[in-house]
Amino acid sequence: MNYINPHEEEVDSISKCALLSCILNFAEILISPVESFESTNYNFAFKKDIIKGTDLEETELHAYFILNKHRNFNKDLHTKIIPVLDKIIKDFKNKYTKRDFSYSTQFLEFREDINKIVGLSSKNTEQKVEMIFLS
């Protein structure tokens, strides 16, 4: 779910996900797994896990937040942000383990689960993200 621009075209979203996946894999090969990094305007937080499909073959699963620059980001990463990513991954795995992953449209309904985890749907985007830092 793109909370920054929920109306962006799906192709752009897929391209961004592919780019982030490549960056994470590149960093993992050269250095070690990456949990976060910063850019000029944004903080990125990542969590990686494994999920099993219908054939019980393991597939990588990535959850991430792209947040506006936050001065306490490094302090809040392990106490507030990673636990939310853990919850998203856990719920996703509970719902979709042993499913056929070739039909991505089946995952659209999971947006509602993310909304429940991140915050009430009546809140605006900024309030949802602020809830992570204030909790």
Could you report the per-residue pLDDT of 81-134, keeping only the tens digit for each? 899 999 999 999 999 999 998 888 888 899 889 888 887 544 555 555 555 555
- Let me know: does 73 contact 65? Beta carbons within 8 Å: no
Domain residue ranges in the chain: 10-134
Comparing C-alpha atoms, which of 76, 49, 64, 51 is closest to residue 130?
76
Mean pLDDT of the chain: 79
Cβ partners under 8 Å of residue 112, min gap 6: 121
Dist CA 113 CA 24 (whole Å): 25
45, exposed or middle or buried, with CB in 10 Å at 0-12, 13-18, 19+?
Answer: buried
Cβ partners under 8 Å of residue 4, min gap 6: 66, 125
Quickly state the pLDDT bin for 41 (edges 50, 70, 90).
confident
The model scores a pTM over 0.85: no
